[in-house]
Structure 1
Amino acid sequence: MKGAFAAASALAALIQHTSANNDVVTLVTKDDVYITEAVATLVVGNIPNPITGDVALWSAIMLDGEDFLQGVTQNGPAGSGYCDNLGKNWCNFAYTLVETLISGTTPEVGKAVPTTPGSLIKTHYKLNPTTTKWDQDLYINGTLVSSVSTSKGQKGNIFYVSIECSSGTCATAPAHKWEDISIVLSKADQSFGTTESWQFGATGGKMSTADSGKTWNFTTLSVPDTPVSVG
């Protein structure tokens, strides 16, 4: 999965999504407003059946320098991902696809840790005001397990929640939920929120703000079983 995942994520970073990426949530900033922080907690469901391709569930932030931050939960055939011998578990890691002038894209990957279905996987993204880097921390059931710090001086343009088939012939991605999604903007923007339905049959995820549009919170977002395939 390593090479295929990087290639698929590079397409995502360039906002050239194929059918490999099923973007459930896409929220774009505008004008001089940008994302400074976001949190999303995945309540992961069962693993795909059969395990015939690399299925990944992730939240993400696209940056203005084309770096792509992702908190990833992945399952695939043995030897295809960042975790060895997954079995009936999911592999979880903080991940940034970094744009470079020489090689095009380079992945920065935090520690990869397996966990069972039903676990809570929280990713916290924050633009560090001291270092001006993005600190990305991934927690499993409340314990910090994976971190990366990248993308100095870049600003957040787009927030995603997505399902991806990065390689192989993927089985349907099983139903799962996202809880406690929160997005903080550089300044208030009432137009950032939406009342439209999310994609791929997802329900819930109602957005609200208590500070005139600077901080946006979601109700629980439920994503049904979703077919996904490489484009």
Structure 2
Amino acid sequence: MLPYFALVASFFALSSAQQFGPYYSLGATSSYIVEATTTLTPSKVPSPAADRLALWPGMGTNGGGLYQSIVLAIASPESECGGTTGQWCAFASVYNGTQQSGDSVPVDANTPVTINYKYNESNESYTQKVTVNGKLISTITTSDGKAIGWGTAVECQDDACNGTSTTHTYTNTTIVLAAADSSFGGTLSVNLVTASELTSDDNITWAVESISVPEYSW
């Protein structure tokens, strides 16, 4: 059986020309996620860049949604985010049948991109914040269900599925649950990535120091 997050990703790929590579997957939890933070550092954009290669840490929800702030390689970064050749485009995003996104902003290779998802109890929504060097570059707030899984994805679309993704890392990842779930760590599944130990002192806050994702060819 596919792990929860890989199952979510494969569901969204059924009706389009998408494929997925290495992943780190947690969930589903018996609780729900109230906050998740990680720093994604992409290396170089594949050369030549093709449409489209998406790197993202995402959260699947009990409402069928997918919160997914994205770092994207595309053949024409100028048209996507005002970038230039060799730059990535970064933006907050959610998918639930249709894609909604915040501002798309160019990011240089080897630049750490911090991605935060936070649950708002007052209106049962999640706010995504994408920051670079302490500056907020993209954000979006939506209500698409409570997040019950977290994972990383390497997603190719169309021409990018004929190429190779580049290495990247996730560091200082923390996932905070609404209530203790002692079985959450047992849901961990990895494919081709190398990760440090997943830890938790209270079964509420879970942490993994580093996740290294290798090159991958489809």
**TM score, norm. by length of structure 2:** 0.86
Encode CA deviations 1:132-186: one digit per residue, 9 max, x unaligned: 111111111221110000016x211211101000221442111111001111112
Change (3 A) 1:88 1:219: same
2:93 corresponding residue in structure 1: 95
Shift of 1:30: 3.8
CA distance in 2, matches of 1:23, 1:87: 25
1:175 corresponding residue in structure 2: 167
CA distance in 2, matches of 1:97, 1:173: 22
SS of the equivalent of 1:82 reads: helix
1:36 corresponding residue in structure 2: 34
CA distance in 2, matches of 1:13, 1:84: 30
CA distance in 2, matches of 1:177, 1:79: 22
CA distance in 2, matches of 1:67, 1:197: 21
2:57 corresponding residue in structure 1: 59
Q: Aligned-pair RMSD on alpha carbons? A: 2.3
Contact 2:83 2:106 in 1 (8 A): no
Once the two structures are superposed, the pairs formed by residues 13-162 of structure 1 within 5 Å of their partners are 14=11, 20-31=19-30, 33-78=31-76, 82-98=80-96, 105-151=97-143, 154-162=145-153
Is 2:184 aligned against 1:166? no
Q: Structure 2: which 5+ residue stretches go unaligned?
A: 1-7
Which residue identity is paired with 1:26?
S
Change (3 A) 1:81 1:185: farther
CA distance in 2, matches of 1:118, 1:112: 18
Is 2:213 aligned against 1:223? yes
Shift of 1:195: 9.3
Which residue identity is paired with 2:207?
N
CA distance in 2, matches of 1:74, 1:16: 17
CA distance in 1, matches of 2:165, 2:126: 29
2:203 corresponding residue in structure 1: 213
Encode CA deviations 1:205-231: one digit per residue, 9 max, x unaligned: 320012x21000002111111124xxx
Deviates more, 1:72-81 or 1:110-119: 72-81
CA distance in 1, matches of 2:101, 2:13: 22
Shift of 1:110: 0.3
**TM score, norm. by length of structure 1:** 0.82
Is 2:191 aligned against 1:199? yes
2:3 corresponding residue in structure 1: none
Count of residues in correspondence between the two structures:
208
Shift of 1:23: 4.8
Q: Structure 1: which 5+ residue stretches go unaligned?
A: 1-10, 99-104
